[in-house]
Structure formats: C-alpha cells, structure tokens
Structure 1
C-alpha cells in the first residue's frame, strides 16, 4: 500500500508541477485551484509519512536510518516552506516557486522509495 501511495503522490505531483507552470504563463491564473492542489499533495505526503512512521514503529528498519528520516522530514517540510515563499509576493504569487516545491516532492518521494521507506 505504501508503494502505491508513493507512486500516486509522484504522478499527482508531476501533474501539479505542470499545472503550476501553465498557471505562471496564464494572464489570469487561478490561485485557489493551485493552493487546493498543493493542500491535496501535502495531505498525500503526510499520509505517506504516517504509514512509514507506523512501519518503523512496528520494527521495520531501512538500511540507512538517518538518511531515511531526513527524507521523511523533508517530505513534510518542503511543500509548506515553498508555498509560503511562493505566496509571499506583494502583487501576485510566484507560480514557478510553487512548481519547484511540487517537483521537489517528486524527488523526495522517489528517494524515499529508493531508500526503502515508501
């Protein structure tokens, strides 16, 4: 189940990244849809981290625990930080920063899969 959730998060984050780039070039971008998409992605990463944390509590251990825990923490922190930076603009949000944040989630989730966590 964890692997299918990780793959779902990856596919969704890639689609969201493309959406954010398209929004950056639109004359009238839709900020509410972008933020809602980021919220759904964050819920997916929190669910994935919770399942991974439960498997760690049940006794499963990755080969490199410190690296795995660092990726797990990064998966939870990178999207809120990048969203805050992207929405902190004075006139309009920076959709490229939001796209980089969702692309970073893709890389982090793939690394979690490689380290054996997801």
Structure 2
C-alpha cells in the first residue's frame, strides 16, 4: 500500500521526536512537529478520493508546520519544518492521479524531514 511509508515515518518520528529534546522550546517544537506531521499524514490518507479536501489539508498542515518552525528555537529544526511546509504548499491536487502523486511525495518528504528533525531532537 502506498500510504505505508507515511505511517512508518510518522511512527518513527514520534519515537525519536519525543525523546531527549534539550530545551523547553525545542522539546515543545519536537512534540508539536510530530503532532502536525502525524495529523496531516492521517488526513491526506483519508482524503485520497477528495482532491480538494486533500489540498486543503496540505495547506493547513503547512501553516501549522510554519507556526511550529517559528517557535523551535533551533535553526536546523526550523529549516526542516519550513522545508516540509514549503513542500506541502507546493503540491497541487486537482484530480485522483495528482492525489496519489501528492501522497507519495508527502511520504518521501516527510521521511526526510523526520530524519533531520529526529537528529535535532535527540
């Protein structure tokens, strides 16, 4: 199933993002980033048959990631969150084929971001 990489990335990210953050702001950003990534991944998976709703979920997820990035207190964490937000914002989902492509791109980009975020949060 194509959605498995996104679920795996979110689960992996949760484990790493919630262990060992060194400052309060950074720790909170790690927790919030994981929450946003997990929620957005779950929403777009559910919305694979509704391109407009998927695009809206991606826009909402991007906005939330940008909010978390602003409070991260860590340049690398901020950049990783902003890069993922930009990826979400850059996706156009106008039909079922684009929805499938967007889901795969989100899974790939999320996996990359989770790796970087995890390194900053351990």
Same fold, TM exceeding 0.5? yes
1:2 aligns with 2:2: no
Conservation of the 8 A alpha-carbon contact between 2:66 and 2:85: yes
How far residue 42 of structure 1 moved from its aligned partner, in angstroms, is 0.7
> Deviation string for 1:42-98 (max 9, x for gaps)?
11211122112xx14xxxx7xxx5xx57634522321122x13x44xxxx3511122
Q: CA RMSD in A?
A: 2.9
CA distance in 1, matches of 2:106, 2:86: 12
Length, aligned pairs only: 94
Q: TM-score, normalised by structure 2?
A: 0.58
Larger Rg: 1
How far residue 3 of structure 1 moved from its aligned partner, in angstroms, is 1.9
The corresponding residue for 1:98 is 102
Residues 101 and 16 of structure 1: is their aligned pair in 2 closer, same or farther, counting only changes over 3 Å?
farther
Which 5+ residue runs of structure 1 have no aligned equivalent?
A: 24-29
Which 5+ residue runs of structure 2 have no aligned equivalent?
A: 1-27
The corresponding residue for 2:89 is 80
The corresponding residue for 1:49 is 69
1:12 aligns with 2:26: no
How far residue 39 of structure 1 moved from its aligned partner, in angstroms, is 1.5
